[in-house]
Structure formats: structure tokens, C-alpha cells
Structure 1
Amino acid sequence: MARDPYQELGVSRTASADEIRKAFRKLAKENHPDTNPGNKAAEERFKRVSAAFDILGDADKKKKFDAGEIDADGRETARGFTGGHGPWGAGGGGNPWAENAGFSRRSGPYQSESFEGVDLGDILGEMFGGGGGRAGRGGAGGGFGGFSQRGADVRAKLEVDLLDAIRGGKRRIAFSDGRTVDVTIPKGAQDGQTLRLKGQGAPGRSGPGDAFIELKIQPHPVFRREGEVLVVDVPVTVYDAVLGGKVETPTPDGPVSLTIPKGSNTGSRLRLKGRGLSDSQGRRGDLFARLVVTLPDAVDPELEQIAETWRQKRPYAPRRRT
């Protein structure tokens, strides 16, 4: 059986949703397998805090857990069995395991009173998860009373196009056992972000494990990230740079017409609001168009004459640009 999720996250039962979220993020960061390679204790701790947040981070599950309708593994508590006897029965100290499962203390070990059509092994397997609950995932068997535990978690990496990371999308991933799963890429996906797919791990008697998918954002041939900013290079003709004009410019949402001011130069940046990267809430940042003044492939005599006149009569020193 999993530990009390409040204890696992180190928060009180009156903790706010924000406090629960902060506690989880701190513990998950400290114990994430990627930052603790080969550390089995940290990996198990990461699984436990993830399972605890799965309960407390969901308002409906938290409400049910607080009301005693589900246990720390998110499963409904057993109901409809007769009360117990002895020191942990109705008149005793109130052992919640015995009361919730409908066990009673007779002359020997705990026995069921009303299990017609019910497999005791299944009940124990669900209650105790093979002795480890969520924390015991990854094992092959054994556990409490010899019952099987939940299936192992699986991990995979998924390469994602930059535009899918910005706009969101779907990708299909294949596991080594031949299964394929459709993965929803959230808007604002980040490089290294891990997505959790519940119930998509290895099968087990008490239920399958989870799949953890690490995202790897691929470089794009047109757009590039500079920190939190998205940049695109835009070629501009000499006459548009001198006289001003309009140039078709690519964006993640399709091409737009960009107005080039008179006297523009290579390195100048123009802002396109709301056309850039997405944050974790799906809000779009800005795209910056970096102008690149470009000569024609073949310079004609007239342009050569203009350039020669400028060199003789109007020399100038180009400003240094980064």
C-alpha cells in the first residue's frame, strides 16, 4: 500500500493547491532519475512523489481521498463487508486496513466474512500492490503474501519538431514490445520535458505501470531559438532596404507581409507580436525578423556605376553590427 500522499509530499491536509504543486516540483526535481542516474533510491522516491501528486494534484481525486472513498493508490476502498471484531474491529482501535477491507480478527490470522465471489488475492493485490504499491513498480513479482504487483514503468525519448512544440500536436511512438501509443504534444513543450502516460507501461496483475516520454526538440531549418526568443532571417533586396517595401516573411502560423522601413540594414530586427514561442500556458511570445540585405546573383552595369559613384563621392564607414 502506498504511503499517505500528504506525508509523501510533506504537506499538511490543509495545504493549498499551490503549496502541493510547489512541494511536488521540489521533490520531483531532487529525485528525478535523469539527475540521479543509477540511484535506485531516488528513482523509487520519484515514483512515490509522482503517485502522491497524482492524487493530491487532481481536485476530484483529492476530495475522494479526503473522504476515504479512494486509497493512496487511487483505487476505490472496498465497501459492503460486515464489521470486525476484537481489538481492531468495531469496538477496538479502528485499524483502517481491516475496516476498509472487511477483515475480522477471529482465532487466527485475518479472515474474510463476506467474500462470496470475491478473490482474496485480488483484493490484497490491489490493496498492497505486491507489497510496494506505486513505490514497488519495476519489480517482477513477490511482495505482500506473494501476490503480483503493478507493472513496471517504461521510458522513451521522442524527437519533436519545433513547430509542434510551439503549436502542440500529436505524435505516434512505438515501444519495444510492438505497442504504439499516440502522444499529445502540449503547446509550449520544452526540450527535456517529460510527459507521463498513465497506464501505458508494462502490464501487471494489479494494473499496468506508466510510460514516461522525454521530449527532444529538434532544430528547425528556418526558425531558431535564442533563449526565450524565436528568430527568423529575412532576405531583403537592396532597393527595398533603401526605399522601404513589403516582404513575405515565414512564421510558425504561415507567411505574412512584413513592412520594411526605409534605410534598413542587415542585422535590423522587426518584431511580429504573438508569432513566436509558446509558454507552458499556451501563450505566444513574439517572433523577431532579422533583416539580411542581399545583392542580386548577377550585378548589372548600372548598379556597378552607382556603386562606383558612391565610392568616389559619398564614401562611408559601415557601422559594426553583431
Structure 2
Amino acid sequence: MAAKDLYEKDFYKILGVTATATQSEIKSAYRLKAKDLHPDKNQGDTALEDKFKAVSEAYDILSDSKKRAEYDEARSYFERGGFRAPQGGAGQNFQGGDFSDIFGGGNPQDIFANLFGGGGRRGPRKGSDLQTEATITFKEAVFGTTLDLKLNTDGNGSQTISARVPAGVNDGAKIRVKGKGAPGEAGPGDLFIELEVKPHATFSRKGENLLLTLPVTFAEAALGADIKVPTLSGDDVTVRLAAGTPTGRVLRVKGRGIKKGAIVGDLLVTVEVQVPRRVEGKAIDAIKAFAAATSDHDIRAEFVTKAKS
């Protein structure tokens, strides 16, 4: 594809965003369009498949800050008439100055070709990279998984590819499957899969540490207790509450977090003392007895002193 064909493409218009759109806006716009245009949803419709490829191509450029900056810079000069294609095979004419400083001594046509995964403008080019999305569970993100994706191919056919998701990936991470993009003279491009991680009902993460909130009774917190805590791998670990453990105390279980290469995180357990919504019968008498036994201890004395100082 000629450089002229590349720089005349308005990727912002293709995605339906403005040139000042944030990365978040670009991502949201891509997701909406890709959902409607995805080949799996429109098998056999070549027009929509072409639109999907165009949207994926636009997102590949605009979602990469370096590629986007180069695209904006070069397209700005092209739109102002700062470039004319070679005439009569006698080299290149530039209007408005030399581009060598702007593009690091490179050829603007070659820069546009490089943006799209190709080499020099005279040689054969690889096919365009394609973009798709996949949703995985929180547990799959922590331990890794293998995705089986069904992709449409030219000729209304389809193929199933397997993509390995490494352990410890974050929401929004991209994995690359080489050679599964659009075909080209120098071979196919690559397929990029953007991952969406579904939240877990109990666990969350911070870096390589797993986070868990543990409900405990007033008696367990006041008197101390050994409590079994579930882990994401399915087994239980026992944590010891010291007598007088307050709500909000964080207990650390070493090595039970996310394993990412040589890095192993921890499981951080936050204690949450539960107050019963209803108290009846003997429990009421027990609480009254406790209140009477501790009436000489003002738990708010220090608080009041600090507030008035």
C-alpha cells in the first residue's frame, strides 16, 4: 500500500472519536465497534469483515502512544501540503522544508509503512495486525490459561487458534499470537488479543498480592482465635487472631499470592469484625453483663482529648 493511501486514512473518523480523544475514549469506541463488526458475529459478510479490519487497524495505531504520535505528526505535515509524491522517478520533492529533522532522517513514506508493520516502501509488506478481545475469569488471570478462539478467514472459512495466557496478567493486558493477522506479501501480520478480567466475588489484587476481607465475630476478635481462610487455589490456610484484634487489621500469609516468574506475592487478609443485626435471648444478657463488667473503661477518652486539643 502506498504511503499516500496510508496518510489519507482518518483513523479517528474510523473509530468515531476526535483527534483529542483520550486512550480510554479510544478503547471504549473500539470495543463498541468491534463488538458489532466482529467476524464471528457476521460470518460471510465481507463488507463488515473489511470494516472490522479497518477498525482493528485504526485501534492498533491509536492505542499505541508512540505510533499515534508519529501518525499525528506525519499526517499533519501531509495535510498541509508538505509532501508530494515522487515525480518522473526522479526522487522526492518537499514543500515547506526538509523532513529529515522531524523524522530522524527517515523517509515519511517509510515511516507510514513502518506504522503498519511493513518494511521499506519498495519491498513486500507483511499483512496488517488484527485486534480482538477475550474475557477470562479472575482465577484464569492469576494462574494462566489457554484460550481457544474461532476466527474467520478469507473465503468464508474459519480456524480455531490457541493462545496461551501467562499467569499474573492484568485487566487490559494484550497478548500477541504471531502470524495470525491479515495475509500479506511478506507473510501474515499478528493477532493481538486484549484481555478483560472479570472481578472475583471474594478476592482482588494489588500488584502480585491477593487481597481478601475476612469476617470474624466479636468474640473471636476479643478473645483471639485460629481461623481457616480459603485461598484462590482451593485449599485453606489457618490464620491466628491475637486477642483484641481490631477491625481493619491486616494479616499476611506469605507466598500465597500471585506467582509471576520469579516473583511470588502474598495473601493479605483484612479483618472485619461483624456486629450482629439482631440480638436475642441469652445473648442480650451476656452483652449486658459484658457492658457492666467493662463500664469503668472509657474507650472514647483518648479520642475526645485529641478532638479538643
Place the TM-score, normalised by the shorter chain, in its bin: 0.5 to 0.7
Query: Aligned pair 1:317/2:299, yes or no?
Result: yes
User: Is 1:277 equivalent to 2:277 in the alignment?
Assistant: no
Corresponding residue for residue 11 of structure 2: none
Counterpart selection for 2:142 from 166, 173, 184: 166
Identical-pair percentage: 30
CA-atom RMSD, angstroms?
3.6
Paired with 1:276 and 1:265, the residues of 2 have a C-alpha distance of: 24
1:235 Cα deviation after fit: 1.5
**For 1:23-38, what aligned pairs fall within 5 Å after superposition?**
33-36=62-65
Q: What does residue range 303-314 of structure 1 map to in structure 2 within 5 Å?
A: 303-314=283-294
Alignment of 1:102-113 (within 5 A): none
1:288 aligns with 2:268: yes
Kindly provide the CA deviation profile for residues 129-157 of structure 1, in whole angstroms up to 9, marking residues without a partner as x: xx99x837578xxx648xx6422210122
Larger relative contact order, structure 1 or 2 (CA cutoff 8 Å, min sep 6): 2
Aligned length: 198
List gaps (5 residues or longer) in structure 2.
1-59, 75-109, 304-309
Whether the aligned pair in 2 keeps the contact of 1:36 and 1:42 (CA below 8 Å) is no
Matches within 5 A, 1:12-91: 33-36=62-65, 39=68, 41-42=70-71
Partner of 2:38: none
Give the 3-state SS of the residue equivalent to 1:241 in structure 2. helix
Distance 2:292 2:166 in 1: 58
Per the alignment, residue 201 of structure 1 pairs with 181
Pair 1:214 & 2:194 matched? yes
- How far apart are 1:240 and its partner, in Å? 2.1
Q: Unaligned regions of 5+ residues in structure 1, if any?
A: 1-30, 46-130
Aligned to 1:122: none
Within the candidate set 243, 247, 263, 1:262 is matched to 243
CA distance in 2, matches of 1:40, 1:243: 61
| TM-score, normalisation: structure 2 | 0.53
Please give the TM-score of this superposition, normalised by the length of structure 1.
0.51
Deviation at 1:276, TM superposition (A): 1.6
Give the secondary-structure state (helix, strand or coil) at the position aligned to 1:156: strand
Give how far 1:213 is off.
1.8
> What is the letter of the counterpart of residue 161 of structure 1?
T
Q: Aligned partners of 1:153, 1:35: CA distance in 2, in Å?
A: 13
| Inter-partner Cα distance in structure 1 for 2:224 and 2:180 | 56
